Amino acid sequence: MVSDAPHEEDSTPQNSAVRELARLWVQSQSVISAYITANILDVQHAEDLVQEVAQVVAEKFDSFDRTRSFISWALGIARNRVLKYYRARARDRLVLSENALAKLEEALEHVGQEAEERRAALKVCLERIQGRRREVLEMRYSQNAKVADIAQRFGMSSDGVFVMLHRIRKVLYGCIHRQLAQEGTG
């Protein structure tokens, strides 16, 4: 048998389940990633947790009740991983309670339907951030720099960087809103 020969479309139940899992994960991944990134400060650890959740979802997919929402189920797994992460290491920040996390999951599940549109709008909006504000944003998000390091780099106070980041986000948030509204009326 030639192992690398092209495979015909396989319609076995196992492959069917893999395709279903792929479809559901693609639809949910941005929300799950957003949930984890919001609650885990360290970017690399957040990435690891996303991987872990993907792993557990793949492992337990056989037991997933198809009458339930996949996002809700996967977010539940993500919450357990986040809580386990909190327990397993010293917390480097204050974090939401379990009840608040559950509430956030519900809301994210609802908002998740907008994720792709919001991402496309954000892409346009990001182009409008220029100059020092863009450099700060890039340093924060592209290089995962700490606020203190950004402050030192630009000769600002840490509070100043916090405020600047907040204002940029606020601008982007408003811009996305307007973009989506225009598309809706267009």
Q: Are 61 and 18 in contact (CB under 8 A)?
A: no
Residues 137-156 that bind another protein (CB under 8 A): 137-138, 141-144, 147
Residues 41-70 that bind another protein (CB under 8 A): 41-45, 47-48, 50-52, 54-60
State the minimum distance, in angstroms, from the CB of residue 68 to another protein.
Answer: 18
State the minimum distance, in angstroms, from the CB of residue 134 to another protein.
Answer: 10
Q: Does 5 bind another protein (CB under 8 A)?
A: no
* Interacting residue with another protein among 68, 128, 166, 178 (CB under 8 A): 166
CA 131 – CA 142 distance, rounded (Å)? 16
Task: State both tokens at 84.
Answer: 């386990």
Q: What is the sign of the dihedral through the CA atoms of 64, 66, 71 and 76?
A: negative
State the minimum distance, in angstroms, from the CB of residue 11 to another protein.
Answer: 19
CB nearer another protein, residue 55 or residue 182: 55
State the minimum distance, in angstroms, from the CB of residue 2 to another protein.
Answer: 17
| Per-position x/- string for 80-119, each x denoting binding to another protein as judged by CB under 8 A, each - no binding | x--xx-xxxxx-xxxxxx-xx--xx-xxx-xx--xx--xx
Stretch touching another protein by CB under 8 A, among 6-14, 32-40, 64-72: 32-40
Q: What is the sign of the dihedral through the CA atoms of 169, 97, 70 and 44?
A: positive
CB nearer another protein, residue 16 or residue 51: 51
CA 30 – CA 47 distance, rounded (Å)? 12
Backbone angles phi, psi at 66, to 5 degrees: -65, -10
* CA geometry: angle 141, 120, 122, nearest 5 deg: 45
CA 115 – CA 28 distance, rounded (Å)? 9
* Interacting residue with another protein among 123, 128, 132, 178 (CB under 8 A): 123
Task: State both tokens at 89.
Answer: 């290491």
